[in-house]
Structure 1
Amino acid sequence: MALFDLSLDELRDYRPDRDEPADFDAFWKRTLEEAAGQAEAAAFTPYDAALSTVDVYDTSFSGWGGHRIAAWLVVPKGAEGPLPCVVQYIGYGGGRGMPHDHLMWPATGRAVFVVDVRGQGAVSHDRIGHTPDPHGGGNPQAPGFMTRGILDPEAYYYRRVFTDAVRAVDVAAAHPAIDGERIAVAGASQGGGIATAVAGLHAGVQTALIDVPFLSHFRRAVTVTDEDPYQEIVNFLATQHGKEEDVFRTLSYFDGTNFAARARGRALYSVALMDQICPPSTVYASYNHWAGSEKDITVYPWNGHEGGASYNRGAQLRWLGGRL
């Protein structure tokens, strides 16, 4: 592992042109309106997690296509609400795990709403998922999720994931224990990419914690790293000749730089300069396009995709401070 991308001075000024389709906003407006129209009531079922200082609810809500999405709502026991809430999204391959995996934010007096990722959560014993993806993409795909439905934005996997994630904010905000005016979105890697998308799509999100984000500046990512998951796209193009234009057209609807340019609130990013999974230039492409009211970035010069790990969680706790 070594420095392989732009220098830090170059990264600070790196603000590439965005590849944005003309109907980007119309596409997402229609997608989210369709999902809202298919939504049924969320279910919050008390769950005995053998934890004495929090109340836990095994949650199910309607995401894209009306499909039921699993989540955990974890609320400090006895706290006087309504409380601020962190909506937490999960990294690639992972699911919502178990309630005892998510006690940091309740320990600060905030609620946390941990959202499952459809179709994921079967590769790690500590990141178990419970939500299937009943909708297939139709085209051949490389192993993984990056090329599922990649020839058509209507069918692309992350259309469903991002829609689920936006719906999660609405569901959390409507719960009586949560103050809908004080919601943050958070995630690392894929979770950071999802949080960026939600910050750009949901007008009610005013705070985002975006840690070594994935799903940003796709055209550069696939040319500067040969690590998965971006390599899944390369593998697909290596066999599906003539599909490049369709692939990158689809990805332009899901690029973190386009969502960051629509963000309204504040954000704390993190970046690791030796990260070969989410290259630093792809992180800065999103960060430098962030259009919200305030932004900061924590830089880890000697780290790979783990970023600041526990140190970064401490940085998030301090930064969030009086902001939420």
Structure 2
Amino acid sequence: MSRFDLPLDELRAYRSASAEPEDFDAFWAKTLDEARSHALDARFERVDTRLATVETYDVTFAGFGGQPVKGWFVIPAGTREPLPVVVEFVGYGGGRGLPHTHLLWASAGFAHFVMDTRGQGSGWAPGDTPDPVGSGPAYPGFLTRGIEDPYEFYYRRVFADAVRAVEAARSHPLTDASRTAAIGASQGGGIALAVAGLVPDLAAVAPDVPFLCDFPRATTITDRHPYREVASYLKTHRGRTERVARTLAYVDGVHFAARATAPALFSTALEDLTCPPSTVFAAFNAYAHEDKAIEVYDFNDHEGGDFFQQAAQLRWLPEKLTA
């Protein structure tokens, strides 16, 4: 595979053409007000993983519409004092998985909260959260569910869930709410960016090869799914491009990045056909907080830095969360 996007010097200056809706802030304020009209009702039930170094809890909390959303909460064994908390969002098609697979951040001395993604969890890791909200005609996948109306769009529900996940994580007595990080890779990175723009008091954000950024470019520069789902939908539903573009603008990571108030560590890969580097740089360049950095992996596809990026995060996050 060869590099297909802009040269690196142009990527560092690139700006998205995504048009921000005039009522962007009002739309999300209304969405979150509606979500918060339901009691959070966060419940943490201890589970036996047969692991000696961590304690794991099966979590249920009320997300969008008061609907139950699952998660895992993992802390170092024997924790007695509040810890910084890392809230993680997962990639496209995956769910929260099995509890013994989430050991990294508790092993580093943090509390770790993993949000299940509604309706997903059958692609590569199992999930346990349904999406009971109906959808009109959609291309197989999740990206076009309700895509012609921002109020019916699938990611409105997911982003509301994500904000409530942060609130659920912070509600546990063994977390320090003032030291909260949002992280994730691919779709998880896009969700983390949304949280960065919607939660004003995070301590750190780490979007890894983030999805859901710079839709005007992403949907035209790559043929790879999930972005291809939008083109496939419009191929069948001719003449609806403007309506779809309007909906996508409400969930574009570029606009959330412009509202971010926490330090950030991004990553991108220059041969990434799934989340092209220009779309990641679009969000990075728009990111409002001056304390930001981006790791660039020259010869990698959507795996990006993978374990190398985790190592970079392990060097970076403690500085932000233990200050």
TM-score, L = length of structure 1: 0.98
Q: State the alpha-carbon separation in 2 of the partners of residues 272 and 121 from structure 1.
A: 25
Deviation of 1:207 after TM superposition, in Å, equals 0.6
Which residue matches 2:13?
Answer: 13
Q: How does 1:118-157 map to 2 (within 5 A)?
A: 118-124=118-124, 127-137=125-135, 139-157=136-154
- Aligned equivalent of 2:310: 313
Provide, for residues 170-204 of structure 1, a one-character-per-residue CA deviation record: whole Å limited to 9, x for no partner. Answer: 11111100000000000000000000000100112
Q: CA deviation at 1:41?
A: 1.3
Match of 1:99?
99
CA contact (8 A) 2:87 2:181 kept: yes
Which residue number in structure 1 is paired with residue 239 of structure 2? Answer: 242
Q: In terms of mean alpha carbon deviation, does 254-263 or 16-25 score higher?
A: 16-25
Distance 1:226 1:92 in 2: 16
What CA distance in whole angstroms lies between the structure 1 residues aligned with 2:195 and 2:202?
8
Query: Cα deviation per residue 1:82-134 (whole Å; 9 max; x = unaligned)?
Result: 1001000000000001111110000111010000000000122xx11000000
The root-mean-square deviation of aligned C-alpha atoms, in Å, is: 0.8
1:221 aligns with 2:230: no
Query: Contact 1:45–1:59 at 8 Å: present in 2 too?
Result: yes
Report if the CA contact (8 A) 2:42-2:171 is conserved. no
Rounded Cα–Cα distance in structure 1 between residues aligned with 2:260 and 2:178: 16
TM-score computed with the length of structure 2 as normaliser: 0.98
Q: Is the 8 A contact 1:199 1:206 kept in 2?
A: no
Which secondary structure state, in structure 2, belongs to the residue aligned with residue 56 of structure 1?
strand
| Contact 1:86-1:111 within 8 A present in 2 as well | yes
1:308 shift after superposition: 0.7
2:160 corresponds to which of 160, 163, 180: 163
Contact 1:116 1:130 in 2 (8 A): yes
Unaligned runs of 5+ in 1: none
**1:36 and 2:36 equivalent?**
yes
Residue 48 (structure 1) shift: 0.7
3-state SS in 2 of match to 1:209? strand
List alignment gaps of at least 5 residues for structure 2: none
* Identity rate, percent: 55
Please state whether the residue corresponding to 1:220 is helix, strand or coil: helix
SS at the partner of 1:65? helix
Partner of 1:298: 295
Tell me whether 171-180 or 9-18 shows the greater mean CA deviation. Answer: 9-18
Return closer, same or farther for 1:293/1:9 CA change in 2, 3 Å cut-off: closer
Say how many residue pairs are matched.
Answer: 321
Measured in 2, the distance between the counterparts of 1:43 and 1:77 equals 19
